Structure 1
């Protein structure tokens, strides 16, 4: 099977590349005396004093690399410095330098010095306990977000797992591609953020046992651009042996196409010029000396599509590598929410009219527009907003999840889910009065983490679903299967008419369905893509 949309992103993806997901916390505290009540972990860089939570322990703001500032800007991450004495690990680190185009967050604490991670463990964990490790990468269109939003306290306590949540460089600071990097001998142009993730993963493997984790049982996981990062890690030659399972949430590999070197270099040159550093022998010197504010201002008009291919770190498109078997074959858990695109349409076109809906389909899809409108007629939906959200959900996340799972299921055990809570919270600040934004992009995050960006607390039935999901995710991390005692069977994906998806619903309504591809009209979108076998 050939992967979809590798030459260029689906036209609808232009709208969907802006995810808002942040906010943060405080500056890490260093050097204060350790209280006798504080938990202790001894890492390769030195001992850490954490904090006790309800049934769990947290070690926050741990450096996994040296600050990527000054001459280390736009270079591969370097090992962190060792420290003398006990380092206080009780406050979270700043988010990496970023901007939020939709105003869903207002970072009060961002910094280039941001390569830190948080570790959560059960209160009963001891060094050498060999608990499964979930290694989490946040989303945010490779341009925004922070690992500090994703508290792992409840997951660790409830499921007896170790949860690691990381920061990594974002935007052009994380993915700038220029020919001058090769000329100066710096490898990995366009993959600085990906190399951060690899460094954090290596640090986690090296130090997992110090927190009670099993270095031989690490599951990489991420949502949106974080799932795209999982795709890259699955196919990077640099990650062999670093993990044993993978979870992809709302970021199917066939959707998130990575730029090649010529495309990424052209984007990088335009960005450098906007930052006041035109092409020439001193471009990199200029960029490394530029004030962060100048780099951030330039990035607002020159966003990055993520890591570039054509380097030793990421030689080829992840979806191509998956299709040809050139990847680290591990069990996969992959899924999406039932109405992903409601998030993006609510932010960009909340008051879409019927006339605008029809005009937009015609403009986007050209000769195929009549066929698409016949499958998504406005009269079948309560509003043009819901019609357009359904169309975009199917064309992007839903069907690409299906196609990515089809690539994987014949090679490894593959489990697929669809999150479907018709009253789920949305992201704080993203609500538009009068619009149904349930099941939108990021809706599932509040069910898996102590998430700081949900717009309201979960109800009792939702909390029960959240516990079910945490146990399933942890079971997958522990055994490679999301099946748990006392819950309905969750089968592997299967194929064709037997393609099985676990529909995750509250009130005990979770069930296995075989109609996902039909429900999301994937046959239509496959025929329009023009590259299905």
Structure 2
């Protein structure tokens, strides 16, 4: 059984409560945490181990700003699923900024999740896909003894999926909610061309005057819902931590770039994603965010025009009405065919996102909040396995040398010196290490340096060599591939077969994450110290199971970033 955490009065660090002892509700909240200034941690109230406080007459019923909802009891937590945070974006509301949801009379059933946003069937998970545009719902998981106004930290999760798939209710937040006595919110947001299509005829539908940013706008609408309703679920709207993985982490990064997100969260966690990270060619669908570079507004609109024409909506007088009248299947079929090359990129140089990621991060023109920023050590291995080994085309030693020579030409000898075949289990693993370091790890390091120059930043490198794949596909090797950290934070969702050492690492990671949500720093009782990543001391915490356990390492050295910087143009 996982232990729950209490916050020690003197150290402000979580300490394990006895398994039979429920937590008392915090007596004081954290005063508003402004983005430019961190308030002293003394403003945090204490949580002590003790007897359970009285709860409301019916803890399954909560009154939101739109009406009353009834959730369901699930062990130590209460779960509210399928709460609307915006009006259904259907009919005339397709390709428009999210509009307020309508209030309801009576008691709304919140025991079942809302529909996932439109997406194709998932090849490996068995999810049948969705064609339902009425999908702007969120889910709340809270400790069963939560009371209105209890001032617990709130963690808001943005799912990944390359901006083309995924849904909030796919992540069971029970372990997070109980590990640190926090409220967890997961959400859906629009995906694919229904979120990113940019065209002059659609600009009038945006509150910001620019189309193509609906995923980001949906996420902000959900965050505004959290600000209005956190207290009703026992949460503190001044202590919201925004976190996400992959496209969800990219979303976190994009929210940092948006002035409209100011005041919606106090700190953030980005797991394996950033608005500045670009994936290697052919490891993601051609239209995916990670394959693209930011485009000017005009270039972005031009890139979407072939799709608009292919959909039969290129009459300038009727583009908007034509696109709004098409069946969802038309967009999903076009997406399956590559969207005619249209990129799933947000519209930068707009009111919502005034600067490109590099411009914003390098100049400090973004929301400067405490951050955890990290990745898995071998981000590309999952994609490389799918492209080569599982496709029946494993890379041979000769092909590995040829790939390096083809891609790095005059620097091939140096690359082979840094990544010798003898250091890896297979040529595919060696090629994966190159791709992971060059296009993910070293870009992540660059972002971390920007972040650390302006606000407290803590970085990690998940490196368990025997981590189970977050999607169990026969033939995909175990190890720290993209997404391999997810089962350690959401074990109830993935039901991983952990060793005792991995179970311990999972508990430590949960402690780190919820301590950060509670205090703004991840140092947690019962887990090794997590040093701050600072310009003068760039320590990154390597997350591995015992016997080594979490420990700091030189990220730049591990991932050869100094070498890659030396040969980059």
TM, length-normalised to structure 2: 0.82
Asked if the contact 2:307–2:334 (Cα under 8 Å) also holds between the matched residues in 1, the reply is yes
**Residues 350-405 of structure 1: CA distance to partner in whole angstroms, max 9, x if unpaired?**
22222332333334344444432332233432211110111111112211221111
Partner of 2:559: 520
Matches of 1:264 and 1:152, distance apart in 2:
37
Partner of 1:228: 250
Q: 2:332 aligns with which of 268, 272, 296?
A: 296
1:100 deviates by 5.4
Matches within 5 A, 1:29-68: 39-68=60-89
Asked if the contact 2:364–2:450 (Cα under 8 Å) also holds between the matched residues in 1, the reply is no
Q: 2:210 aligns with which of 188, 191, 203?
A: 188
Matches of 1:388 and 1:438, distance apart in 2:
15
Asked if the contact 1:172–1:299 (Cα under 8 Å) also holds between the matched residues in 2, the reply is yes
**Residues 435-494 of structure 1: CA distance to partner in whole angstroms, max 9, x if unpaired?**
53311000011111145356x432332222111111110111111100011322111012
Asked if the contact 1:149–1:453 (Cα under 8 Å) also holds between the matched residues in 2, the reply is no
Asked if the contact 2:117–2:167 (Cα under 8 Å) also holds between the matched residues in 1, the reply is yes
1:298 deviates by 0.9
Partner of 1:128: 149
Matches of 2:85 and 2:203, distance apart in 1:
25
Matches within 5 A, 1:452-531: 452-453=493-494, 456-495=496-535, 498-507=537-546, 509-530=548-569
Asked if the contact 2:121–2:129 (Cα under 8 Å) also holds between the matched residues in 1, the reply is no
Task: Indicate the larger mover: 100-109 or 293-302.
Answer: 100-109
Partner of 1:247: 269
1:272 deviates by 1.4
Q: 2:448 aligns with which of 387, 390, 405?
A: 405
Matches of 1:63 and 1:237, distance apart in 2:
24
Matches of 1:523 and 1:274, distance apart in 2:
46
1:524 deviates by 1.7
1:51 deviates by 0.6
Sort the Cα spacing of 1:508 and 1:524 in 2 relative to 1 into closer, same or farther, 3 A. same
Matches of 1:355 and 1:226, distance apart in 2:
37
User: Is 1:338 equivalent to 2:344 in the alignment?
Assistant: no
Matches of 1:83 and 1:97, distance apart in 2:
25
Partner of 1:96, secondary structure, is coil
1:215 deviates by 0.6
Matches of 1:133 and 1:436, distance apart in 2:
35
Count of paired positions: 491
1:185 deviates by 7.1
Q: Whose RCO is larger (CA < 8 A, sep 6+)?
A: 1
1:85 deviates by 0.4
Sort the Cα spacing of 1:103 and 1:365 in 2 relative to 1 into closer, same or farther, 3 A. farther
Partner of 1:96: 117
Matches of 2:383 and 2:141, distance apart in 1:
32
Asked if the contact 1:272–1:279 (Cα under 8 Å) also holds between the matched residues in 2, the reply is no
Partner of 1:509, secondary structure, is coil
Matches of 1:386 and 1:458, distance apart in 2:
23
Partner of 1:90, secondary structure, is coil
Matches of 2:356 and 2:527, distance apart in 1:
37
Asked if the contact 2:193–2:344 (Cα under 8 Å) also holds between the matched residues in 1, the reply is no
Q: 2:95 aligns with which of 65, 74, 80?
A: 74
**Residues 291-310 of structure 1: CA distance to partner in whole angstroms, max 9, x if unpaired?**
11111111121263332212
1:38 deviates by 6.2
User: What 5-or-longer segments of structure 1 have no aligned partner?
Assistant: 1-35
Partner of 2:304: 268
TM, length-normalised to structure 1: 0.88
1:528 deviates by 3.1
Larger radius of gyration: 2
Task: Indicate the larger mover: 217-226 or 319-328.
Answer: 319-328
Sort the Cα spacing of 1:104 and 1:161 in 2 relative to 1 into closer, same or farther, 3 A. same
Partner of 2:361: 322
Task: Indicate the larger mover: 476-485 or 273-282.
Answer: 273-282
Partner of 1:150: 171
User: What 5-or-longer segments of structure 2 have no aligned partner?
Assistant: 1-56, 279-292
Q: 1:284 aligns with which of 314, 320, 330?
A: 320
Matches of 2:169 and 2:364, distance apart in 1:
34
Partner of 1:24: none
**Residues 312-358 of structure 1: CA distance to partner in whole angstroms, max 9, x if unpaired?**
11111123212111111110101111111111111111222223323
Asked if the contact 1:347–1:430 (Cα under 8 Å) also holds between the matched residues in 2, the reply is no
Asked if the contact 1:271–1:299 (Cα under 8 Å) also holds between the matched residues in 2, the reply is no
Matches of 1:147 and 1:60, distance apart in 2:
10
Matches of 1:347 and 1:201, distance apart in 2:
35
Asked if the contact 2:470–2:486 (Cα under 8 Å) also holds between the matched residues in 1, the reply is no
Asked if the contact 1:171–1:304 (Cα under 8 Å) also holds between the matched residues in 2, the reply is no
Matches within 5 A, 1:163-178: 163-178=184-199
Asked if the contact 1:431–1:437 (Cα under 8 Å) also holds between the matched residues in 2, the reply is no
Matches of 1:482 and 1:237, distance apart in 2:
26
